[in-house]
Amino acid sequence: MRRHCFTFPVIAAVAAYALFTSGCTPTYPKEELPSAVQTVFKEEYNMDVEVTVLGSTIGIYYPMEGLLDVGLGISEESWDTISNLVLVASRVVLSTDADIKFYCVIAQDARLPELQVVIIKYVEDVKRSMYRNISRGESFKRTLFSVNLTPQAKKERSVNKVFEKLGVEEPTRQKIMDEFFRSPPTKLSDIGYWRDQFYIKDITLEEFLAAQIASRIKLEFKGEEKLEQAFDFKSAEAEYTKGPQHNKFDLKFKINEQKASTEIENLKRKKIQEILKIINRVVYGYKFKDFDAVVMEDQMENVTLSVSMQNVYEFTRENLPVEEIVHTSKPYF
């Protein structure tokens, strides 16, 4: 995790850059944004990147040598390159007249493009970090960082196995792929780059916050010593659902209690309490109120828990009792 803080040393550089380029003429005019970004990468870092803009999201892709080490982790030498990618992305979003709200950096190892690093940041967070309205630690937690299998590669590999069994010829394969299996992603987790094509979406604040909630839960339960000792974190995923009558955050998680059975009830309360603290920090930190409830599914216990927006918002400030504000589908605490 300490190495992931590569985003923080660039803050001062971005701030200085923004001060010197804050005139009336944008450094990266929206009409020339992709080509201008490619030029600065080439001239300053000798990096050949691909750039795309979709709505208010800009995507930057770079295939690099030696991204992964022998253990398929990010190599020590790669962090400087990733920092440069983030630095230029930050400069761009602060120095363009295009309405960019999010940037997405995708890096792949040229030898193994099936694996990728994806970094997503909200432009307002970049600004707030630059002006020190949020701390370094908070800025890190507001960054979505993932190392995963390239989603489109994974999908095409599965489909190709079916084609092989059916004896489908190559031209027909590609036609079917183009028509049915090569489409823009619907979720942030599907973002990637494959075979000279971006698979990116116009990111919304709502889905970004949902993904950030899941990311923070993982960071806290796997990184905070006391929580790591008490719980065995398996997974967490969240999405924002907009309905005709109600908007909500849906959170699913698998987090086991690790202590003696006599302490399970207390640990369940502690688990939900920590999750609600995290959700409170996210929605309160962004002053986001466009939801009616948070619906949580403890997949290890097969229990659904729900909390109203008002109680989520006031949870930390009012020190609300968990048992009184959480409604469950069956006895839980």
Q: Both 127 and 95 in a single domain?
A: yes
Can you tell me the distance from the alpha carbon of 278 to that of 282, in angstroms, rounded to the nearest whole number?
6
Can you tell me the distance from the alpha carbon of 95 to that of 130, in angstroms, rounded to the nearest whole number?
13
Q: pLDDT of 5-16, one tens digit each?
A: 554 445 444 544
Q: Both 195 and 66 in a single domain?
A: yes
Q: For residue 38, tell me if it sits in a domain.
A: yes
Residue 82's domain comprises: 2-150+191-202
57-64, strands of its sheet edge to edge: 50-54, 57-64, 102-109, 112-122, 144-149
Q: pLDDT of 137-149, one tens digit each?
A: 999 999 999 999 9
Q: Both 233 and 196 in a single domain?
A: no
User: Looking at residues 231-251, what average pLDDT do you find?
Assistant: 95
Q: Both 198 and 248 in a single domain?
A: no
Q: Both 198 and 236 in a single domain?
A: no
Please provide residue 170's backbone torsions phi and psi, each rounded to the nearest 5 degrees: -55, -50
Q: Structural domain tally of the chain?
A: 2
Show which of 202, 235, 270 is a domain's final residue.
202
Q: Both 117 and 7 in a single domain?
A: yes
The pLDDT value given to residue 265? 60
CB burial of 82-105 (b: ≥16 within 10 Å; e: otherwise) equals bbbbbbbbbbbbbbbebebbbbbb
Q: pLDDT of 295-313, one tens digit each?
A: 999 999 999 999 999 999 9
On whether the CB atoms of residues 119 and 143 are closer than 8 A, the answer is yes
Q: pLDDT of 162-178, one tens digit each?
A: 988 898 888 898 899 88
Question: Where do the DSSP E strands lie in 158-220?
Answer: 192-193, 198-199
Q: Both 84 and 228 in a single domain?
A: no
Q: Both 222 and 140 in a single domain?
A: no
- The average confidence (pLDDT) of the chain is 89
Q: Both 107 and 225 in a single domain?
A: no
Q: Both 195 and 219 in a single domain?
A: no
On whether the CB atoms of residues 96 and 28 are closer than 8 A, the answer is yes
Q: Both 198 and 262 in a single domain?
A: no
Residue 97 has pLDDT above 60, yes or no: yes
Q: Both 197 and 257 in a single domain?
A: no
Contact partners, residue 241, CB within 8 Å, separation at least 6: 247, 248, 249, 250
User: Looking at residues 252-256, what average pLDDT do you find?
Assistant: 97
